[in-house]
Amino acid sequence: MKILHTADLHLREYEDERWQALQELVKIGEKEKVSIFLISGDLFDKGTDAENLRPQIRAIFSGKSFKILIIPGNHDKDSYRSDLYFGENTIILSNSVPFEYKKARIIALPFQPLKKEEVLGKIQALKTILTPDKKNILLCHGELLDSFFSRKDFGEEGKERYMPFKLSYFRELNIDYVLAGHFHTSFDIKRLENGGYFVYPGSPVSITRRETGQRKVNIFQLGSPPREHLLDTFYFEEVRVELDPFRDENPLEVVKEHLEKLRPEAKAILTVKGYINGKKAKITETELVNRIKEIAKGKCAQEPTYLFKDIRLILENGLFKSFINKLEQAGYEEKKAEEMRGLAIKAMMEAGL
C-alpha cells in the first residue's frame, strides 16, 4: 500500500502556482497508484480562501482512485465544519477518532493552540487507540523542538510557538510514522526511539522566498522508510555569482551562464558579488548592472543584489602587481591563491589605494 504525504500548500487563488502544485500532487498520486493522499495541515492559507476554493477542491479531489485525508493546520483550523463537503473520498480528520484503511490506522492531531505540556498529554492519550495489528500513522501540525529551526523556516508565522512538541513525547508509543506539517523549508526525516519515522515533507511549492530549491513530497510503501520525491513545481532558487577578475571570463557571460541553468519552474534570487576589471572587460559597473537587468528579466523573483566592484585601479597598482607575481611564483593551490588575492584586494581597498 503506497502513501503520498504533503503539507503547507497555503492555497489562495485558483490556478496560481500553489494550485498548480496541488494539481501536480494529484497527478503523482494517480501515476504512483497511491492508496492514500495525506495533507498534514494548512491546505489553505486562511479561512476565506478555503470558502472561495471549496468548489474547485471538490472537482480536483473527486473521481480519484485514492482516499484523501486532511487535517487542519494553524492557518485553516476553522475551515472544516462537519457540514461542508470537500469532495468524493475526501475525509477531514479533525479529532482523535482513527481512520482505518487496509493495514493502516491513521490518527489525527490537528493544530490546536496548546502549550508543550498540553501537547504531551494529547500524545500520551493516544495509547488507548493505537493497535498492534496495524501500522499506526499519526498526522500532526506543529513545531518540533528537537531540531534548531529558524522561525523563518515555518513561513510567515512570527515568534509565536505553534503546538510545540518533542520526539521524546512519542517514546513507548506504538507509532510507525509521524507525518507532520508546519515546517516549510525542506524535506526532513528523523527516527523515533521505537524505530518509527518522523517526517516534515516541506512545502511542495515555495510559499515565501525562504523556501529555496526544488520542492519535494513524501511517497512510501507502508512498512518501508519514507522517501522524498522531487517535484516539478514552482520554487525560488538562490543564485550566487562570484566574479573573479583573474579568470579569463566575461563577467556578463558568467552571470548569464548561471541563469541559464535555472529550471523552467524556478525564479532566481540573484546576488552578484566579487570583483571585475572594467578596463579589461570593456564595461563599467553601471553598464554591467544594466546588462544584467536585461538578461535577468523574467528569470528573477526580485531585483538582483549587486555586490561586485570594479577594481581596475588596484589591479594596475605596482605594489599589487608585485604581490601577484610573488604569489604566482609561490605555486599555491588555486583555492589558496584566490583567498590570498582576496585578502590583498580588501587590504588595498581599506588603504584607499
Parse the chain into domains and list their residue ranges.
Answer: 2-230, 235-350
pLDDT at 148 over 60: no
Strand-pairing partners, residue 272, are: 241, 306
Which amino acid appears at position 152 of this protein? K
Q: Which pLDDT score, from 0 to 100, does residue 248 have?
A: 87
DSSP string, 302-318: SPPEE--EE-HHHHT-H
pLDDT at 352 over 80: no
Cα–Cα distance between 15 and 244 in angstroms, integer?
43
Cα–Cα distance between 191 and 312 in angstroms, integer?
55
Q: Which pLDDT score, from 0 to 100, does residue 156 have?
A: 58
Mean pLDDT of 72-99: 93
Q: Which pLDDT score, from 0 to 100, does residue 155 have?
A: 55
215-262 residue pLDDT tens: 999 999 999 999 999 999 999 999 999 999 998 899 999 999 999 999
* % pLDDT > 90, the chain: 81
Arch. (CATH architecture) of 2-230: 4-Layer Sandwich (3.60)
